[in-house]
Amino acid sequence: MKMLKNKTCIFQMFIAWFFLSSVFILPLNAKEILTAKKFSNRYLELVKKQHPNIKVKRLDALGFKFTSTKTGEFKAFLDNAYREYKNSPDQITSILQRYVDIAFSANKLTKLVPKRDQIVPLIRSIDYINQIKKLTKSAKKENSLIYKEFVPGLVLLYALDSPKSVRAMVNSDLNKLKIHNKELLGQATKNLNRIVSNGMKRQGKEGLFAVTAGGTFESSLVLLDDIWNKKNFPVKGDFVVYIPARDQIIVTGSKDKKGLAEAAKFAKKDYQVAPRPLFNKPLIRQNGKWIIYKK
């Protein structure tokens, strides 16, 4: 791998929720922004204007269930959209439009025939999986997510990548793809390598690094065995990483006291402000495997 050039059907009741991505939050005076209810009302006005035949049921201040003969039934939750708006209130128009597009394009993806070269691996928290299970407690077995434990507290979740979004894989996709569960990791990491190889960049120096890879697959980089070498990451000791959010990965070495302290400080701050925090514990790579690092 050429690394670091200094770099259908998860069922429709929750698919749109899966795609609402994250941003950082900055504290603002509550008087300067709309309430969650008023913000979601603006979103709903836009939905009804662009999709006049849609039926809507409000679930809570930031959640809706949509139904129509064309789209079927699916849910959309605006928690991250609202956080993004609070961070940039003057961008409300573009934020609302983007999240309408995300919700309705994500729902359409469930009808597409999956392809093997779309399979990608995602690192997610067990809390995330439990939230989806709660939303989909009545789901049939064919609509169950495909995942396994990565380390305690984190899971490896299989998904399907597309130009506009990413959706989780479910059991029924295996039959459509004619692929066995045992083949998934090899196929997924091969595809991930292809997707990120030209856009991956390393930032930092003196044993403390951050890696960017487009904003979607940073946390998944721990799955690419070929990149974890001292040429790519000149650190002291074994590789230690923090993945406080889905789009962040911080790298240092187990024998670098200063690097470990700085990495922990940055990770703690990022974990606290991320709208969808991922993991607040460091991982260490030993004998080709990642485990939780116990200092």
pLDDT classification of 16: cutoffs 50, 70, 90: very low
State the DSSP code for 49: H
**pLDDT band at residue 110 under the 50/70/90 scheme:** low
Helix ranges (DSSP H) in the chain: 15-19, 36-50, 79-87, 92-109, 126-135, 171-177, 184-196, 257-273
pLDDT at 77: 82
Span 286-293, mean pLDDT?
Answer: 96
* Range 173-178 average pLDDT: 90
Flag whether pLDDT at 164 surpasses 90: no
Whether the predicted pLDDT of 261 surpasses 90: yes
> Please, is 108 exposed, middle or buried when counting C-beta atoms within 10 Å of its C-beta (0-12, 13-18, 19+)?
middle
pLDDT (0 to 100) of residue 166: 81
pLDDT of residue 170: 86
Look at 99 and 241; give whichever has higher pLDDT: 241
Sheet containing strand 250-253, edge to edge, reads 201-205, 208-212, 250-253, 239-242, 283-286, 289-292
29-43, 101-115, 157-171, 240-254: the lowest-pLDDT one: 101-115
Q: What is the mean pLDDT of the chain?
A: 83
Q: Using CA of residue 110, residue 186, residue 158, residue 140, what is the dihedral sign?
A: positive
pLDDT tens digit string along 23-53? 333 333 444 789 999 999 999 999 999 989 8
Q: What's the mean pLDDT in 160-176?
A: 84
- Over residues 203-224, the mean pLDDT reads 93
CB 279 within 8 A of CB 154: yes
Whether the per-residue pLDDT at 197 is higher than 90: the answer is no
Identify the DSSP state of 163.
S
- pLDDT for 130: 81
Of 91, 243, 275, which is closest to residue 154 (Cα–Cα)?
243
| Residue 51 neighbours by CB distance under 10 Å | 17
Q: Which residue has the higher pLDDT, 199 or 152?
A: 152
pLDDT for the residue numbered 199: 85
Lowest mean pLDDT segment, chosen from 12-16, 120-124, 182-186: 12-16
Quote the DSSP letter at residue 113: P
pLDDT at 273 over 50: yes
pLDDT top residue among 131 and 135: 131
Residue 27 carries which DSSP code?
-
Tell me which residue has tokens 């130009």. 163
**CA neighbor of 259 nearest in space, from 237, 286, 289, 229:** 237
Q: What is the mean pLDDT of residues 264-286?
A: 90
Residue 137: is its pLDDT beyond 90? Answer: no
pLDDT in tens, 58-88: 988 888 888 877 767 777 888 878 877 887 7
Structure tokens at 284: 């260490």
> For residue 17, what pLDDT band results from cuts at 50, 70 and 90?
very low
